[in-house]
């Protein structure tokens, strides 16, 4: 306990009155305004705790008199943002898709919206940037099964492929093997022909005429006499470096014997919980069209 105020002989300053083995401590008081600032901070903290969420207890917390919630604030912000976007999205909805592309402002909005919608909905199958993978076509290359114009892409997204939708794109390649339309030797011959003439693995002196005959009779009606493909029925071009189900010869045999028939869902909004609205579908079409393969 300090008992009396002493003054240090050298500095003339007051001491705190504490003494340790003859050492004394000078009293250097902080300025009073510092104390007031400190008190003001405490008052601020108390007022803040009263007004804003502050103390957690169990599963809840004190809400504060202002009832402020950043969660609600974010929701409001999102709603405000959506209202702002709605102006453009409505315009995209009512504008023909070719004209959306010619309006720089709408194009920017559609591309941004399309990128996000693509990432959320399309990317799981078609890959980031529309890279594609075996069985799921690349959207960035120069090959389209059902057409690569804006209108074609919009149609495909809206109604899907073999999706069950009334206007879905669809065709069924016959199961030449499992339905016994072709025997094993014929399938082998046509595979040789496609592998040699279209896939670019021709072997000098190999006789492809048998396979060519099978092809002309069974395949050319859809895939074209020269393997150029047919978009009206979604028949992939065969004379191409791009092969939906893989580059190996076995994939030809497998596809002719028992074809895989890819399915893409219809994205049209039919209920409140599923699908994409028209403006978003248009946006995705515009985004996909710009990936590198748009026609």
Partner 1 sequence: MEKMVRTVVADEGKVSHPALFAAPLTVYPKAVNGPARMFKWAVLVLCLAVYYLLPWLRWDRGPGRVSQAVLLDLPHRRFYLFNLELWPQDIYVLAGVLILSAVGLFLVTSLAGRVWCGYACPQTVWTDLFMWIERRVEGDRNEHMRRDKGPLTAGKVWRKVIKHTIWFAIAFWTGGAFIMYFVDAPTFTLQFWLGQAATEAYVFTFLFTATTYLLAGWAREQVCTFMCPWPRFQASMLDEQSLIVTYQGWRGEPRGHRKVDAGKPNGAVATAGLGNCIDCLACVHVCPTGIDIRDGVQLECINCGLCVDACNEMMVKTHQPKWLITWDTLAGQKAKAEGRHVPFRFFRPRTLIYAGAMTVGIAVLVTAMATRAQIDLAVQHDRAPLFVKLRDGSIRNGYTVKISNKTQAAAEFVLALRGLDAGAMELADRSGAPASSLVLPVDADNIGTFRVLAFGRPDAAADGSQKIDFVLRNTTTGEQTRYTSVFMGPGAGGS
* Segment interacting with partner 1, rule: CB under 8 A, options 22-30, 59-67, 108-116, 218-226: 22-30
140 binds partner 1 (CB under 8 A): yes
Out of 34, 44, 48, 61, the residue judged to bind partner 1 by CB under 8 A: 34
Block residue for tokens 């693995």? 201
Token pair belonging to 170: 């669809």
Site for partner 1 in 192-221 (CB under 8 A): 200
Nearer to partner 1, 211 or 227 (CB): 227
Query: DSSP of 34-62, one letter per residue?
Result: HHHHHHHHHHHHHHHHHHS---EETTEE-
Q: Collect all residues with Cβ–Cβ distance below 8 Å to 155 and sequence separation of at least 6.
A: 146, 147, 167, 169
27 binds partner 1 (CB under 8 A): yes
150 binds partner 1 (CB under 8 A): no
The candidate with the shortest Cα–Cα distance to 137, out of 262, 259, 287, 260, is 262
29 binds partner 1 (CB under 8 A): yes
* Segment interacting with partner 1, rule: CB under 8 A, options 49-57, 121-129, 254-262, 273-281: 121-129
247 binds partner 1 (CB under 8 A): yes
Q: How far apart are CA 113 and CA 186, in angstroms?
A: 50
44 binds partner 1 (CB under 8 A): no
Out of 14, 103, 165, 277, the residue judged to bind partner 1 by CB under 8 A: 14
35 binds partner 1 (CB under 8 A): yes
Q: How far apart are CA 76 and CA 68, in angstroms?
A: 12
Nearer to partner 1, 15 or 257 (CB): 15
Q: How far apart are CA 177 and CA 41, in angstroms?
A: 84
Q: What count of other Cβ atoms lies within 10 Å of the Cβ of residue 90?
A: 11
Q: How far apart are CA 137 and CA 159, in angstroms?
A: 17
23 binds partner 1 (CB under 8 A): no
Out of 9, 10, 23, 30, the residue judged to bind partner 1 by CB under 8 A: 30
Out of 141, 165, 277, 278, the residue judged to bind partner 1 by CB under 8 A: 141
Nearest distance in Å: CB 167, partner 1: 28
Burial bucket for residue 254 (CB in 10 Å: 0-12, 13-18, 19+) = middle
Out of 114, 237, 264, 288, the residue judged to bind partner 1 by CB under 8 A: 237
Vertex 205 angle, CA 199 and 208, to 5°: 50
Nearer to partner 1, 177 or 237 (CB): 237
57 binds partner 1 (CB under 8 A): no
Token pair belonging to 145: 């099964």
Q: How far apart are CA 114 and CA 185, in angstroms?
A: 48
Coil vs helix vs strand at 18:
strand
* Segment interacting with partner 1, rule: CB under 8 A, options 73-81, 138-146, 172-180, 276-284: 138-146
Contact positions toward partner 1, by CB under 8 A?
1-5, 14-17, 27, 29-35, 127-132, 138, 140-143, 200, 237, 240-242, 247-248, 290, 292-294
């Amino acid at each position: 306990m300090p008992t009396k105020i002493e003054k240090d002989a050298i500095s003339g300053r007051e001491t705190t009155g504490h003494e340790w083995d003859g050492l004394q401590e000078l009293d250097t008081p902080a300025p009073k305004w510092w104390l007031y600032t400190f008190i003001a901070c405490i008052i601020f903290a108390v007022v803040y705790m009263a007004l804003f969420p502050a103390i957690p207890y169990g599963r809840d917390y004190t809400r504060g008199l202002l009832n402020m919630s950043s969660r609600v604030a974010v929701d409001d912000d999102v709603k405000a943002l959506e209202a702002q976007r709605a102006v453009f999205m409505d315009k995209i909805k009512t504008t023909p898709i070719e004209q959306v592309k010619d309006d720089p402002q709408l194009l920017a909005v559609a591309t941004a919206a399309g990128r996000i919608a693509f990432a959320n909905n399309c990317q799981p199958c078609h890959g980031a940037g529309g890279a594609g993978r075996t069985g799921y076509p690349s959207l960035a290359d120069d090959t389209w099964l059902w057409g690569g114009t804006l209108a074609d892409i919009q149609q495909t997204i809206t109604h899907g492929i073999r999706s069950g939708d009334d206007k879905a794109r669809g065709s069924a390649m016959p199961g030449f093997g499992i339905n016994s339309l072709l025997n094993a030797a014929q399938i082998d011959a046509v595979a040789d022909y496609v592998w040699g003439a279209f896939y670019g693995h021709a072997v000098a002196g190999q006789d492809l005429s048998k396979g060519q005959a099978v092809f002309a009779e069974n395949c050319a009606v859809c895939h074209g006499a020269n393997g150029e493909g047919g978009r009206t029925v979604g028949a992939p071009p065969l004379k191409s470096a791009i092969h939906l189900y893989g580059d190996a010869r076995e994939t030809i045999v497998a596809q002719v014997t028992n074809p895989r028939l890819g399915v893409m869902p219809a994205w049209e909004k039919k209920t409140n919980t599923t699908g994409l609205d028209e403006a978003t579908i248009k946006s995705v079409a515009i985004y996909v069209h710009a990936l590198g393969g748009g026609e």
